């Protein structure tokens, strides 16, 4: 196969070369110059332009009829308007496309070179130019007015009883979150993300869990750094050197090292105390080095560097988690509790037909885009910048299956902003169904903190409140 392709390419090149040679030869024999276009060539090219135009029109009609309606009718209310607007614009541009191309190719054919004719000197005509400035302006004004009318309707505020759903994106999947019985989403915070809390929903437990994990990691790195042979030796050397300078130099010249260990105001007494601490530490290090055995670590400079950097990052992370503060939402729900009854689903999510839904989009890592082609809906999902889009589904999945005659059909939400290797696979099914079915489906979904657990917690909390020891504060001070 490859060999065959290679042969074709080689023959192609040889053919082109031969063609060039023949045309050069004939040119030099007849004294023809490259810039002289023969009458036959002119007519041929004029005719080819007309043929091309005919084929282009044929292709346009074919494509419009066979591929113009690949998407079924809009399954959302605003989509009906969008489709109307699309058709409206589409017919305008198709008209211009046909007329302008027709004129272009027709003139190319009609006015092909004829040495007997002289072109008409026609340099400008203000009236004509005015016409084709004003007419497009009017048409565009109409397009702009209709477009902005639809745009304002699409992007206007959602109604108060709209269903709110948070769509959360990450490489490479989507989740949908429903606010639960209290009607409030738990706040999300990227610092609280763990494998069991992929959306970073804020609850006291989530905060405590993350803090615990962080403390563990910080402790482990600190312990390891305390067992690294090179670091121990360096520390010991510094201590020994400082003690030595203090003994001989009356402790006045170099305070820097002492300041690290604090308490240097009271010279005589403080110095002795510090010295004994230092000696104690030296003994400790000697003991470790002598008997530490397998516990001791020997790391490269690079490894120490990365571990220290990691330690720094973990401590910053800990601080950010500590900074997460509780507050009361407008509806009176405590922000720490709002997330407990949230329902998070993956793979597919359900929408009631005929009810407005306002999506709020959040992203964990890079920009994604939630594209729902059947609903004529799309909005980017940007890390750090929540976005919104509202729509009202008007055709249930079942009805659409009937319309399309495809029992396997499903509405879909897919990622439409390149986000990495598996971008082309990042999707979620959408099921549109009756309000009753939707309620039943939603009721069957697990809450973020399972109901029994939440109840237990509430009881515990009440008990703790009674003993005036709020759980939140213990967690914070931890």
Tell whether residue 35 is a contact of other proteins (CB under 8 A).
yes
Q: For residues 338 and 419, which CB has a smaller minimum distance to other proteins in the complex?
A: 419
Cβ partners under 8 Å of residue 85, min gap 6 = 146, 147, 150
In angstroms, what is the minimal distance from the CB of 213 to other proteins?
A: 11
Structure tokens, 27: 């040119």
Strand order in the sheet with 357-363: 343-346, 173-178, 163-170, 357-363, 387-391
Contact stretch for other proteins (CB under 8 A) within 104-112, 327-335, 344-352, 463-471: 104-112
Q: Are 446 and 343 in contact (CB under 8 A)?
A: yes
Among 7, 10, 13, 181, binds other proteins (CB under 8 A): 13
Cβ partners under 8 Å of residue 451, min gap 6 = 341
Among 30, 133, 331, 477, binds other proteins (CB under 8 A): 133
Sites for other proteins among residues 249-288 (CB under 8 A) = none
Q: How many residues does the chain have?
A: 478
Sites for other proteins among residues 333-372 (CB under 8 A) = 361, 364-367, 369, 371
Q: Of 227, 246, 240, 252, give the one whose Cα is nearest residue 278.
A: 240
Contact stretch for other proteins (CB under 8 A) within 147-155, 282-290, 295-303, 333-341: 147-155
Q: Are 399 and 81 in contact (CB under 8 A)?
A: no
Tell whether residue 127 is a contact of other proteins (CB under 8 A).
no
Decide: helix, strand or coil at residue 32.
Answer: coil
Tell whether residue 303 is a contact of other proteins (CB under 8 A).
no
The span from the CA of 166 to the CA of 146, in Å, is: 31
In angstroms, what is the minimal distance from the CB of 45 to other proteins?
A: 4
Q: Of 196, 180, 193, 153, give the one whose Cα is nearest residue 362.
A: 193
Tell whether residue 52 is a contact of other proteins (CB under 8 A).
yes
Tell whether residue 208 is a contact of other proteins (CB under 8 A).
no
In angstroms, what is the minimal distance from the CB of 385 to other proteins?
A: 6
Among 114, 254, 266, 446, binds other proteins (CB under 8 A): 114
H or E segment at 240?
A: helix 229-249
Q: Of 229, 231, 193, 233, give the one whose Cα is nearest residue 209.
A: 193
Tell whether residue 443 is a contact of other proteins (CB under 8 A).
no
Tell whether residue 57 is a contact of other proteins (CB under 8 A).
no
Tell whether residue 104 is a contact of other proteins (CB under 8 A).
yes
Q: For residues 129 and 247, which CB has a smaller minimum distance to other proteins in the complex?
A: 129
* Start-end of H helices in 174-228: 204-226
In angstroms, what is the minimal distance from the CB of 54 to other proteins?
A: 13
Contact stretch for other proteins (CB under 8 A) within 31-39, 273-281, 283-291, 297-305: 31-39
**Residue found by looking up tokens 């409206």 in the block:** 88
Tell whether residue 105 is a contact of other proteins (CB under 8 A).
yes
Q: For residues 274 and 375, which CB has a smaller minimum distance to other proteins in the complex?
A: 375
Structure tokens, 138: 């009017």
Tell whether residue 136 is a contact of other proteins (CB under 8 A).
yes
Q: What are phi and psi of 188, to 5 degrees?
A: -105, 145
Sites for other proteins among residues 304-323 (CB under 8 A) = 313, 316-317, 320
Q: Are 94 and 451 in contact (CB under 8 A)?
A: no
Sites for other proteins among residues 60-99 (CB under 8 A) = 60, 63, 67-68, 70-71, 79, 81-82, 85-86, 89-90, 92-93, 96-97
The span from the CA of 82 to the CA of 389, in Å, is: 15
In angstroms, what is the minimal distance from the CB of 338 to other proteins?
A: 19
Tell whether residue 37 is a contact of other proteins (CB under 8 A).
yes
Sites for other proteins among residues 186-205 (CB under 8 A) = 190-191, 193, 200
Strand order in the sheet with 427-433: 348-352, 427-433, 411-415, 368-372, 377-381
Kindly determine how many residues on this chain lie close enough to bind other proteins according to the rule CB under 8 A. 126
The strand pairing partners of 385, in sequence order, are 382
The span from the CA of 201 to the CA of 342, in Å, is: 9
Tell whether residue 47 is a contact of other proteins (CB under 8 A).
no
Cβ partners under 8 Å of residue 113, min gap 6 = 37, 39, 42
Q: Are 178 and 343 in contact (CB under 8 A)?
A: yes
Contact stretch for other proteins (CB under 8 A) within 46-54, 223-231, 247-255, 264-272: 46-54
The span from the CA of 332 to the CA of 423, in Å, is: 40
Among 7, 10, 54, 148, binds other proteins (CB under 8 A): 148
Tell whether residue 20 is a contact of other proteins (CB under 8 A).
yes
Q: For residues 135 and 241, which CB has a smaller minimum distance to other proteins in the complex?
A: 135
**Exposed, middle or buried: residue 452 (CB in 10 Å: 0-12, 13-18, 19+)?**
exposed
In angstroms, what is the minimal distance from the CB of 235 to other proteins?
A: 28
**Residue found by looking up tokens 């763990």 in the block:** 194
Contact stretch for other proteins (CB under 8 A) within 118-126, 222-230, 279-287, 445-453: 118-126
Q: For residues 95 and 276, which CB has a smaller minimum distance to other proteins in the complex?
A: 95
In angstroms, what is the minimal distance from the CB of 222 to other proteins?
A: 18
Sites for other proteins among residues 375-414 (CB under 8 A) = 376-380, 382-388, 408-409, 412, 414
């Amino acid at each position: 196969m490859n060999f065959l392709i290679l042969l074709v390419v080689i023959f192609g090149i040889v053919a082109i070369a031969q063609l060039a040679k023949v045309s050069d030869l004939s040119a030099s024999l007849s004294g023809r110059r490259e810039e002289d276009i023969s009458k036959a060539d002119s007519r041929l090219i004029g005719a080819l332009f007309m043929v091309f135009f005919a084929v282009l029109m044929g292709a346009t009609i074919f494509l419009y009829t066979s591929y113009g309606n690949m998407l079924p009718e809009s399954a959302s209310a605003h989509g009906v308007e969008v489709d109307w607007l699309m058709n409206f614009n589409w017919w305008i541009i198709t008209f211009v496309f046909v007329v302008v191309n027709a004129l272009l190719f027709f003139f190319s054919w009609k006015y092909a070179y004829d040495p007997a004719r002289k072109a008409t000197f026609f340099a400008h005509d203000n009236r004509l130019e005015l016409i084709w400035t004003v007419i497009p302006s009017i048409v565009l004004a109409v397009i702009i007015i209709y477009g902005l009318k639809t745009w304002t309707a699409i992007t206007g505020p959602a109604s108060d009883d709209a269903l709110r759903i948070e769509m959360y994106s990450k490489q490479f999947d989507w989740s949908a979150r429903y606010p639960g019985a209290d009607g409030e989403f738990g706040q999300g915070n990227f610092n609280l993300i763990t494998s069991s809390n992929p959306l970073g929903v804020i609850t006291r437990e989530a905060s405590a869990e993350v803090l615990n994990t962080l403390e563990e990691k910080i402790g482990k790195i600190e312990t390891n750094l305390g067992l690294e042979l090179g670091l121990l030796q360096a520390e010991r050397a510094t201590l020994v050197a400082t003690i030595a300078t203090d003994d001989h130099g009356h402790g006045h010249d170099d305070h820097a090292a002492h300041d690290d260990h604090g308490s240097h105001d009271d010279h005589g007494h403080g110095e002795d105390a510090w010295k004994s601490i230092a000696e104690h530490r030296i003994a400790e290090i000697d003991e470790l080095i002598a008997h530490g055995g397998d516990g001791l670590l020997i790391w490269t400079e690079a490894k120490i560097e990365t571990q220290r950097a990691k330690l720094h990052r973990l401590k910053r992370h800990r601080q950010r988690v500590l900074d997460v503060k509780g507050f009361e939402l407008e509806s009176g729900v405590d922000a720490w509790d709002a997330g407990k009854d949230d329902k998070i689903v993956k793979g597919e999510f359900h929408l009631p037909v005929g009810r407005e839904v306002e999506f709020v989009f959040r992203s964990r890592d890079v920009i994604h885009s939630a594209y729902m082609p059947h609903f004529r809906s799309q909005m980017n999902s940007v890390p750090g910048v929540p976005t919104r889009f509202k729509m009202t589904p008007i055709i249930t999945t079942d009805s659409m299956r009937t319309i399309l005659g495809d029992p396997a059909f499903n509405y879909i939400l897919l990622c439409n902003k390149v986000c990495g290797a598996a971008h082309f696979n990042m999707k979620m099914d959408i099921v549109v169904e009756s309000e009753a079915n939707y309620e039943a489906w939603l009721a069957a979904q697990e809450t973020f903190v399972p109901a029994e657990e939440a109840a237990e917690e509430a009881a515990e909390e009440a008990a703790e409140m009674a003993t005036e020891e709020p759980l939140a504060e213990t967690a914070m001070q931890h």
